[in-house]
Amino acid sequence: MNTESKRKRKAQARPWVLVMALLVVGLAYSVVVPPSSSAETEMTQQIEEGKAIFDVSCSSCHGLNGEGLSAGPSLIGVGAASVDFQMGTGRMPAARGEAQIPAGEVVYSQEQIDAVSAYVASFGPGPAIPESSQYDPEGLNADEIARGGALFRANCSACHGIVGGGGAMPEGKHAPALGDTEDVHIYEAVRTGPQQMPTFSKDVLEDDDVRQIIGFLNTADEAPRYGGLGMGNHGPVSEGFWIFLLGIGGLSAIAAWIAKKGAGAR
């Protein structure tokens, strides 16, 4: 189970992306100095674009106005964060209704996802896509990250397992492993409660709490397995499996070598 590399690359790439984005935005502002009305036009354009995608990919299950059909729930009031999570992790658009719709290939670009998010957000008020300051664990100190661990064990580990390895839920559902999930998506999942996951609102779990949880997950994920190979990381179950396979099996093979006699005993 190698989950660390992707997260790691992301974590390293993020500051650069941020700096570049800020530069571009800043330049655009200082050089073009757009009139305020043009921002609104842009907004409308984005919603229009989102609607086009929504009508093609989403409306068959969620209804033309997101009112919800038998195949998919209403999207009124779910907010942009929900759309960004569902589409950004490849859960949506789903091929078919299942007990649990798994994460998958992300089929739309972030721009397109933003457009659909903006369109769905226009159905009714809901959680917005977070600013990076809300979820980015950058700048947390060691004590805060450790506190994130305590919060994770209080609120998350029951379903998602120790250090977010995932866990079983009733009737074939499961709480997914969090190793490959991007920071922003963890934040959005906490706030919007996708599928069976409960919501954790801002008043109960503040943004700083969530940042600390994300910081803990990232640090724990990048940390070495101090004791050696993880051997499957399923705790005592995998440990028991290996002690029989390698311990009993291996030593029995050696025992057979020890007890061999005659010409066979080289």
Q: Which of residues 116-175 bind other proteins (CB under 8 A)?
A: 142-143, 145-147, 149-151, 153-155, 157-163, 165-175
Contact 166, 177 (CB under 8 A): yes
Please report whether residue 97 would count as binding other proteins according to CB under 8 A: no
Least distance between other proteins and beta carbon 238 (Å): 8
Q: Which of 57, 59, 122, 219 binds other proteins (CB under 8 A)?
A: 219
Please report whether residue 196 would count as binding other proteins according to CB under 8 A: yes
Minimum CB distance to other proteins smaller for 132 or for 157:
157
Q: Which of 59, 201, 207, 211 binds other proteins (CB under 8 A)?
A: 201
Binding mask 243-262 for other proteins (x = CB under 8 A): xx-xxx-xxx-xxxxxxxxx
Minimum CB distance to other proteins smaller for 10 or for 46:
10
Structure-block tokens of residue 95: 């091929």
Q: Residue 220 and residue 159: Cα distance in Å, rounded? A: 17
Chain mean position to CA 109? 17
- CA dihedral 98→101→104→106, nearest 10 degrees, is 110
Q: How many chain residues are in contact with other proteins, going by CB under 8 A?
A: 83
Structure-block tokens of residue 108: 């739309």
Q: Residue 153 and residue 156: Cα distance in Å, rounded? A: 6
* Interaction residues for other proteins, span 53-72 (CB under 8 A): none
Q: What are phi and psi of 102, to 5 degrees?
A: -80, 160
Q: Residue 8 and residue 223: Cα distance in Å, rounded? A: 11
Minimum CB distance to other proteins smaller for 185 or for 191:
191
Q: Which helix (H) or strand (E) holds 46?
A: helix 36-57
Least distance between other proteins and beta carbon 123 (Å): 17
Q: Which of 11, 200, 210, 211 binds other proteins (CB under 8 A)?
A: 200
